[in-house]
Amino acid sequence: MKTTETPAPLPAEPGASVSTVDVPVPRPGRREREGTVLNVFSHGVLVIWAIMVVMPLAWAVMTSFKDDGSIFGSPWALPDRLHFENWARAWTDANMSDYFLNTVLVVGGSLVGTLVLGSMAAYVLARFDFPGNRFIYYLFIGGMSFPIMLALVPLFYVVNNMGLLNTIHGLILVYIAYSLPFTVFFLTAFFRTLPTSVAEAAFVDGASHTRTFFQIMLPMAKPGLISVGIFNFLGQWNQYMLPTVLNTDPDKKVLTQGLVQLAVSQGYKGDWSGLFAGLVMAMLPVLGAYVVFQRQVVQGLTAGALK
């Protein structure tokens, strides 16, 4: 039986017109149009939100380099020159240097203590099953929902009876207790996402629980530690209620108390340029910490969803 082959089409001659078949282009459907409108709307909301956040910060920084006359005469204009004496006056005359140092000591000590104690408690709650595990975990969660305003009066008497009132280390202990519930809640969920095979291999090699935690599991939890550390740093650096109640010594006030003291002590004098300079001094460490560790913060927040 013979088979007939279909001859291949001959190539078109130069200059000859080639007929093309019009292929209908699919039009975007309703779902695609709705997605485009939603993207435009969401991006517009984000742009408006960014302007609302950035504009006050930029205006405060700009105002800190202006004199008092320019602040009221042309509040939205750029400064005629940079008045660095505003920063020097706020740093020395308003004792912002002492307030800044006290804040660094309190926040630094409380941040280290919170991360160490919180990571150890979270590791035990996430990795070991024992009677009362869930009860202790829910106690920490309950601490997150307890208003700090209700605890100020009994907390004052407890700190006073312990002889820790108006002390730096007393304020550090209170900050640690205040930040532990959220730290344990955050890190417990993070430690559950870490692989157990690495810890089991360390136990097989003869490592103790302490060595396994500090040399293996804790370095693996670095993104989560940085994320919760940034959140605690923001809350502790901007804390005003606790130091106001527990720290009335003028020589041991923190930065938030110093800003209020700077605003109140002016009276009718109105050193607004120095006040804005002190305000920017208080904002710079927080902005700097977030700019440096913003990638680690995002990694820590998304690590549980990606694993």
| Token code pair at residue 170 | 């007393």
- The answer to the question of residue 103 being in a domain is yes
| Token code pair at residue 166 | 């108006």
Burial class (CB in 10 A: 0-12, 13-18, 19+), 224: buried
For 222, the domain range is 85-306
**Domain count across the chain:** 1
| Token code pair at residue 35 | 């997605």
Residue 303 confidence (pLDDT): 60
pLDDT higher than threshold 50 for residue 305:
no
Q: What is the largest CA-CA distance in the chain?
A: 113
Q: Is 29 helix (H, G, I), strand (E, B) or coil?
A: coil
- The answer to the question of residue 145 being in a domain is yes
**pTM confidence score:** 0.78
Residue 29 confidence (pLDDT): 58
If pLDDT is split at 50, 70 and 90, which confidence band does 250 have?
confident
Q: Is 66 helix (H, G, I), strand (E, B) or coil?
A: coil
Residue 27 confidence (pLDDT): 56
Helices 152-161 and 168-193: crossing angle in degrees, nearest 10, is 120
- The answer to the question of residue 115 being in a domain is yes
Most confident of 23-27, 55-59, 121-125, 284-288: 121-125
Do the Cβ atoms of 187 and 221 come closer than 8 Å?
yes
pLDDT higher than threshold 80 for residue 301:
no
- The answer to the question of residue 293 being in a domain is yes
Percent of the chain with pLDDT over 70: 82
- The answer to the question of residue 77 being in a domain is no
Q: Mean pLDDT across the stretch 99-113?
A: 93
Helices 272-306 and 168-193: crossing angle in degrees, nearest 10, is 30
Residue 168 confidence (pLDDT): 92
Do the Cβ atoms of 237 and 103 come closer than 8 Å?
yes
Percent of the chain with pLDDT over 90: 28
Choose the weakest-confidence range: 20-24, 63-67, 84-88, 186-190. Answer: 20-24
- The answer to the question of residue 22 being in a domain is no
pLDDT higher than threshold 70 for residue 223:
yes
Do the Cβ atoms of 272 and 183 come closer than 8 Å?
no
Non-local (6+) Cβ contacts of 207 within 8 A are 215, 216
- The answer to the question of residue 44 being in a domain is no
- CATH code at position 106: 1.10.3720.10
pLDDT digits (tens, 9 = 90+) for 146-173: 888 888 899 999 999 999 999 999 999 9
